[in-house]
Structure 1
Amino acid sequence: MVAPAVPEYVAPETPGLRVPRRYMRLAIVWIHEEDDIYVAVDARSDSLQSLRELGPPDLVYLVKQPKANSTRQTGVYHHVTGIDASSSASLAAYVNTLTFSPLDKTHKVVSGIYCCYNAFSHLDMRVEVKIPGSLESYCIDERGDKRVATEALWLETFLCAVLRAYHYADNGSGDDIKKIVGVRRFNPVTNTEMEHKFLDAAEKLFFLGRQLSSDPETQVPNTVTNHLTSGILKYIYTTGRYTSGINLFEKLRTRDVEVSSLLARVQLMADEEVQAVRLMYDALQDVPMEYSLLDCQASFCQDKGEGEMALECAKRAVTAAPSEFSTWARLAEVYVSMERWDLALLTLNSCPMFTYQDKDTPRMPQPSRIMLPILSESILDEIDEGQPKQGDPHDYVHPTLRKLHAASYQGTFLKAYNLLTKIAAAIGWDQLLKVRSEVFVMEEEYRVERQHVPKPAQSLDAETNGEAAEDVEAENEDDSGSVKGTVENTPNGDGNEASNGNSIERPEQTVASEVVKSGNEDPDPSHSAYTQFQNKRLCERWLDNLFMVLYEDLRVYTIWRTEMAQSRQQATEYKKSATEWEILGELAERLHHFDESIEAYQNCLATRFSPKATRGLLKLYEQRNDTRGMLGALIRLIAWQYRWYSEFSPDLLYLVRKLIEDEGAVKVRSIVQATNLPQPVLDLTHQYCQLCATFRSSGSDT
């Protein structure tokens, strides 16, 4: 079943400029500047030289004045992603859709500026519209100078706009929506024609992709690891357009064999495993030390439960790219899956950590006021009921819950912490401390040895390098077996265990490499090594801090479960605010206590709607293969997203697509329609289903 063409809108003030009707909304988010107009545009110009990523969302700025012949003008603006930025005409058409607002019948729009960042050339492309009247397009460089906007620059701008739409999209939890106020999010690729346009631009500019920077876990962007390749893979994963992705990477592979890793990833997404394995094998004959290919092999073997094969691939990837976090993290994951806890910790300790580089965000002056009208299609009582009104006090949150540092981790530190919590969940806190003391030099033993050996031995300076993982394995080959199999559970949320006195012991300090290196003594050749820990490593300071953060997470979690158990025994109500339940749900989820996280999220939703808690419940419904439960949560998440002007979430689109693939479009649409919710709310979910039909997703024709 093919979706009908999206009707076009012709702006009355500028005939010939066409824009999809989906851009037309009666209620638009506005951020106001009362007197000093264009201050927001000037602030954007000033921030251009500090941009390092894909750039901030597009800025749309309008100048309004009273209809009653007054010369006093007011500036209003909002941000937007997903608009077709392939030409000045398409951006001007969007500005034209904003010239009429039923919420403000006393003012008229006299001019507008659309600003869209070109991350390839580090230029801000601008279209200035006079209403009625002229249209001017130009670009502003990092110095603030005006330059000519060429066709080549518009091609780059179009591609950046699509990538930004995916980059700034929310995953359904609302975290990204809350970061920037006043952003309208549209789907940049709504049909196969636009897909062809996107992939054609990606093909033309593919080998310039490294100029766009990369995800925060990557040290050095390269041909196959950058924001362009991440965006393409995200698009293919979301929409299931595997054939289009395979065709694109097949063509690019003829120009650079390294592209084989991207092609193999898409083939694996499409369940073409035989072709992917053959491709990886053939490509590695040409580039045997291409780390992205080796990492792809390691991931595939790990998913198939082939630990030893995954281990060899992961080791080679570390040797090929010892300065990249992803290769070390993959090796640590393999050791965790093989239950080689000592080597997992030592490998984790070797990970190169990078300072987190956040997305480019708008730096705007303080506005006089903000208008956030509710779109009529998103009105749903159960979402609005219980929400704090303007001026109401915020939820009370216990100071201990506010100080959980793990909740703010991002980038390499977040992934490293996830690995550490996996180990803790598998073997328990006590056993984790035991393994830690076996592989790292502890402060107490270091102090004792210092008393006997006043001059530190040269061998203590255990710097990590590309062969560290293999050295560690050799040193621990004989006794690693004794580490495996000794499994003790952390307090797992069972009320009886918690009330039986399980406690979390604060970890001792290890010795960091900086501590040893800070000594002034010259090495004494008579001491080749400290006798008590000659095969141990020095713990990196950041990993030592992760142990302390994990301790605090476990301590708070144990207190919560103990109090819950006591309240049940005493048949009393255990009271927490909605925000506290949300934090506790995240805490349990971080520590891999799935049932307890669901319990906390359900308690949160019993007080009021929370997108984060609803997103958590989705995992429960997925685990149980509960189609109705999943769709019920999706309908509410899609409506909440629309409430905050987000009409596009790749993660939610992916979940709808997978449900249609598993159950068929007719059944999914029927379940949605049978839900006892307002029709406009249901239509928002139907639009996601219609998108799957437009792209001919599997199951959409049944």
Structure 2
Amino acid sequence: MLPPSLGSIPEVKEDYPGASLVERTARLQQFIELGPPDLCNIYKHSINTKRENGEIGTFLYFTGVDTSSIASIAAHLQSLANLMTSKSQYWFGEKKHWKVPQLTYCSFNSFSKVDMRVTVHIPGKFEIQIINQDGKMIRDKLNEEQLDRFWTETFITSIIRAVLESEDGDDVNKVGGVVEIRKINPFNNGIVSKELLNNFLIGFEELFFQGSKLGCTVDIPQPTLVNNYLVDGFLKVIQLTQSYDRGLEIMDRIYKIDPSVISIIAHLQLLKQDEIEAVKTLYKGIQDNKRDSNTLILQAEYCLDKKKPDMALELAKQAVKSSPSDYSTWSVLVKCYTKLGDFENALLTLNSCPMNSHKEKYQLKRVVPIRSHDDLHLPSPMDVTLDEVSNLQSNDISFEHRNLDPQLSNLPAANLKTTYAKAYDLLTEIVNKTGWEQLLKYRAKVFVMEEEYRKDKKTSNGHLRKNSTQSSVNVNNSSIVESDVDSTIAIKSPSQKNIDAATLAGDSVVPTDGEIDYDDEFRKKRLCERWLDNLFMLLYEDLRAFTMWQAESVHFQAQQMEYKKTTLEWEILGSIAYRLKHFKEGSIAFANALSGRFSAKSQREMLKYYLKERNKLLTKNTTTSSNNANFIQNYQKLMNQLNEKILESIVKLLVWNHRWYSDFSPFLLLSLSDLVAWEGSVKIESSITALYNETKLPGSGNKDSSTRESSKDSSNNDHFVNHGIISMMKDFDSDYIKLYNLSNADE
């Protein structure tokens, strides 16, 4: 569904018409796994000039478009052309009325590694090109059956890209972030979306055994039949549309061919909140295959959620033995030890985690470089506005960045990626329970410190020279072999290390006869991996910044003085607190950030906090005695307050996303669906109407203070407060929530 406002089409000017297509072709060999977003190239010229004199080329990216056939793409391009030619628009300060004679749409097929391209000539014909990664066209070599297969693969790839792309939400604030992109909700277009969902599920089943071609997350070294982006996307689509029964039917059929998918069945049952059936499925899966790490991990995580870490421990150990090269199995074992308070084994296990530095979390990346921001046309959509969000002053944000407190700039933990970021999260879980000083004691107890290693190396070298023998010390699941000739250190390969480590980090080390002169305590220690040693230093920096902030805050309170920070500084402090698992302090920082100006990151983190607090309240409600009158009296009041804050956060973030051409956020859709499940759609609609009733302020003008152009109409200077929000939310309620008959959709 294309945007109703002409001003909500971001574009980039090309050096010459078609330059983006040439650039994309040149980069095809670089496309891996799910590949880049779809690209749309547009030829256009002013209606007042001849085509040959005034034709220019522009391009933008898309996700969520129906790419299941030539016809669906051609229809999308035709509607885009109609939108751009229907009336004049402001183009870099000048009012232009365009003609669009030609558009080309490119979508990468990650299964067969080809770029599918459809060109529409207006009026008249359309044509298709299929280009392989060598830049050669292969259209003429395909029969109809192969072509249909290519379109199915392209469509499935596009939907997976749309639902799995990174939702960090800070892309527009990051250097190199893709802003010239329109993200469409593929599941919010009435009966057409029901057909699209059906086609996706059929295509998923058809391509299931090819899923490993799409790649996998950083937790897994190599994609498998069960662990890959195709399965991840399938689970997300089922969750978004709550098509659990249909999903289970598909997986039951696949299970008859390959029983290893039983963990996916259990996962779907858990998403459906059918815990009894899920537990039965998990039990059957483990009975049938006691080395199925996917089922073992799923059951271990279920036990952890139910606060049964002792039961989860043995499952996690078995999972590590079954898949010693998977980061995910080790991370669950670390969580088990941490929950049990066995911090020594938690550190030893963390130290054994196989780190995956060659992969990144999947996110959409720019294909065509932008020479200058002067080539970017990023108009502000005027069909949905909320003053607090829409009128954000870009100059104020730039000022905050230029004047950022040096002690808060570039804290290294904020830049961690892949499994290193996940490992840091596990380390902060440990320090949150032990405290820094105690953590250092555990660290010294289980790991060889540098001075100890040097001292022992000197001692062992003397022993080796005296006996002219070769000895080995088991350190960090690696054999460090020292020779009496050069004292050279040889370390086993990572794969062998992981196999050795499958005996589990907590097992004791048995000394050999050649080690009898070594200190007994030293023999039990491991060498701390360099990456983990680095995480300790990053943790120290975070703790130092957090402690300083808390001390300053107490000082200012004691002096009855206002503790002032910019929104950016509060946001960074909130992020530090969240990393250290101090969520209450973090929420205060993010709330302070929002009191200064709107920040998408702060609002998103506050939404996560409200959702977390509501879950805690729900848990407390189920465990608190029904005789506790005080709690019962306050429960509904607290729940209503949290739900109001959740709704407010969702609305503001939806408006922000719309301003940046994104009408699809799985996180926000799931949060809204969950809220409707608790409150009912009728109550949500009433709350939206009451909170965001549109108000017209005549003659005040519609001012856009950002550096981007607005799609203003000079004939209308009226300013609307809360413009279009009720309509926007009705689209989600009527076209999405009721379309899929989500929980409480009609109540």
Could you say which TM-score interval applies, normalised by the shorter chain? 0.7 to 0.9
2:680 — aligned with what?
664
Aligned partner of 1:428 among 419, 432, 435 = 435
Residue 71 of structure 1 corresponds to 52
- Cα distance in 2, alignment partners of residues 365 and 282 from structure 1: 52
Residue by residue, what CA displacement relative to the aligned partner does 1:384-425 show, whole Å, maximum 9, x if unpaired?
445224996453212232221111112211111000000101
Paired letter, 1:96: Q
Amino acid at match of 1:584: L
Distance 2:509 2:305 in 1: 26
- Structure 1 residue 620: Cα displacement: 3.7
Moved more, 637-646 or 366-375: 366-375
Name the SS of the counterpart of 1:189 in structure 2: coil
Kindly report structure 1 stretches of 4+ aligned residues shifted beyond 6 Å.
none
Counterpart pick for 2:329 among 321, 327, 330: 327
Pairing of 1:381-392 with structure 2 (within 5 A): 381-389=387-395
Deviation readout 1:182-212 (Å, 9 max, x if unpaired): 1111112334322111111000001100000
Task: Name the count of aligned residue pairs.
Answer: 636
Aligned-partner Cα distance in 2 for 1:467–1:460: 10
Q: What CA distance in whole angstroms lies between the structure 1 residues aligned with 2:10 and 2:443?
A: 54
- Measured in 1, the distance between the counterparts of 2:441 and 2:553 equals 29
The counterpart of 2:20, out of the listed 15, 34, 40, is: 40
Secondary structure, in 3 states, of the residue corresponding to 1:97? helix
Query: How far off is 1:111 after superposition?
Result: 0.8
Structure 2 partner of 1:313: 315
Equivalent position of 1:418 in the other structure: 425
- Deviation of 1:133 after TM superposition, in Å, equals 2.1
Summarize the Cα distance change of 1:393–1:470 in structure 2 as closer, same or farther, 3 Å threshold. Answer: same
In structure 2, the partner of 1:375 is 381
Which has the larger displacement, 660-669 or 376-385?
376-385
When normalised by structure 1's length, the TM-score is: 0.86
How far did 1:467 drift? 5.5
**Residue matched to 2:713:** none
CA offset digits 1:276-323 (Å, max 9, x no partner) = 222222233333211111111111222222222211111111111101
| Aligned 1:570-589 pairs, distance under 5 A | 570-589=559-578
Tell whether the 8 Å contact from 1:322 to 1:465 is kept in structure 2 after alignment. Answer: yes
Percentage identity across paired residues of the two chains: 36
Distance of aligned partners of 1:124 and 1:319 in 2 relative to their CA distance in 1, 3 Å threshold: same
- Give the superposition deviation at 1:228: 0.4
1:687 partnered with 2:676:
no
Give the stretch that moved more between structures: 141-150 or 450-459.
450-459
Letter of the 1:459 counterpart: V
**Counterpart residue number, 1:265:** 267
**How far does residue 92 in structure 1 lie from its aligned partner after superposition?**
1.4
Match of 2:570, SS state, is helix
Structure 1 partner of 2:541 = 552
**2:161 matched to 1:161?**
no
| Alignment match of 2:594 (pick from 593, 605, 619) | 605
Matches within 5 A, 1:527-676: 529-622=518-611, 623-624=613-614, 625=639, 626-676=642-692
Could you tell which deviates more after superposition, 142-151 or 32-41? Answer: 32-41
Q: Which residue of 2 aligns with 1:50?
A: 30
CA distance in 1, matches of 2:199, 2:366: 28
| Residue of 368, 371, 375 corresponding to 1:364 | 368
The SS at the match of 1:533 is helix
Could you tell me whether the CA contact under 8 Å between 1:174 and 1:641 is conserved in 2? no
Q: Secondary structure at the match of 1:465?
A: helix
- Give the structure 1 partner of residue 346 of structure 2: 344
1:449 and 2:456 matched: yes
How far does the alpha carbon of each residue in 1:593-647 deviate from its partner, in whole angstroms, 9 at most, with x for none?
1121111111111111001111122234331531111111111111111010000
Give me the whole-angstrom Cα distance separating, in 1, the residues matched to 2:124 and 2:515: 87
Instruction: Give the counterpart letter for 2:124 in structure 1.
Output: G
**SS at 1:453's partner residue?**
helix
Give the aligned partner of residue 234 of structure 1: 236
Per-residue deviation at 1:237? Answer: 2.6
* Structure 1 residues 488-527: aligned runs within 5 Å: 525=514
* Equivalent pair of 2:5/2:382 in contact (CA under 8 Å): no
For 1:23 and 1:119, the matched residues in 2 are separated by 28
Structure 2 segments unaligned to the other structure (5+ residues): 90-94, 465-470, 479-496, 615-638, 694-721
- 116, 119, 133: which one pairs with 2:107? 116
Kept in 1: contact 2:106–2:117 (CA 8 A):
yes
Q: Is the 8 A contact 1:314 1:331 kept in 2?
A: yes
Q: In terms of mean alpha carbon deviation, does 440-449 or 253-262 score higher? A: 440-449
Change (3 A) 1:24 1:125: farther
Q: Secondary structure at the match of 1:124?
A: strand
Counterparts of 2:428 and 2:30 in 1: how far apart (Å)?
A: 36
Offset at 1:244? 2.1
Question: Aligned residue for 2:623?
Answer: none
Partner of 2:508: 475
Structure 1: any 5+ residue segments left out of the alignment? 1-19, 478-522
C-alpha contact (below 8 Å) 1:217/1:325 kept by paired residues: yes
Note closer, same or farther for the CA distance 1:567–1:476 as it changes in structure 2 (3 Å cut): farther
1:344 shift after superposition: 0.6
- Is the counterpart of residue 90 in structure 1 residue 72 in structure 2? yes
- Measured in 2, the distance between the counterparts of 1:177 and 1:231 equals 26
* Cα distance in 2, alignment partners of residues 414 and 139 from structure 1: 39
Q: Which residue of 2 aligns with 1:279?
A: 281
Tell me the SS of whatever aligns to 1:582. helix
TM value normalised by structure 2: 0.81
TM-superposed CA distance for 1:170, in Å, is 3.1
| Contact 1:660 1:699 (C-alpha < 8 Å) held by counterparts | yes
1:532 Cα offset (Å): 4.1
Q: Once the 2 structures are TM-superposed, how far is the Cα of residue 468 of structure 1 from its aligned partner?
A: 3.1
**Shift in Å, 1:531:** 4.1
Per-residue deviation, 1:108: 1.1
The answer to whether the 8 A contact 2:217-2:361 is kept is no
Q: Indicate which of 147, 156, 179 corresponds to 1:181.
A: 179
AA of the residue aligned to 1:161? S
**For the residues of structure 2 that align with 1:636 and 1:124, how far apart are their CA atoms?**
37
Deviation at 1:34, TM superposition (A): 5.1
How big is the shift at 1:216?
1.6
3-state SS of paired residue (1:180): coil
Is 1:80 the counterpart of 2:62? The answer is yes
2:472 is the alignment partner of 1:458? yes
1:468–1:34 CA distance, 2 compared to 1 (3 A):
closer
Tell me: CA distance 1:177–1:41, structure 2 relative to 1, closer, same or farther (3 Å): farther
Q: Distance in 2 between matches of 1:589 and 1:194?
A: 39
In structure 2, the CA distance between the partners of 1:448 and 1:177, relative to structure 1 (3 Å rule), is closer
Whole-Å separation in 2 of the counterparts to 1:306 and 1:524? 41
* Backbone CA RMSD of aligned residues: 2.3
Partner deviation per Cα, 1:234-284 (whole Å, 9 max, x = no partner):
222333322222122111111111110000011112122222222222233
Give 3-state SS (helix, strand or coil) of 1:475's partner: coil
Letter in 1 for 2:148: E
CA contact (8 A) 1:634 1:652 kept: yes
Q: Letter of the 1:145 partner, please give it.
A: K
Q: Cα distance, 1:574 vs. partner?
A: 2.1
Contact 1:23 1:97 in 2 (8 A): no
Q: 1:260 to 1:645 in 2, by over 3 A?
A: same
After the TM superposition, which of the residue ranges 589-598 and 299-308 deviates more from structure 2?
299-308
Counterpart CA distance in 2 for 1:526 and 1:244 is: 62
Instruction: State how far apart, in whole Å, the 1-side matches of 2:522 and 2:741 are.
Output: 62
State the distance in 2 between where 1:381 and 1:471 align. Answer: 56
Aligned with 2:304 (options 302, 305, 325): 302
| Aligned residue identity for 2:122 | I
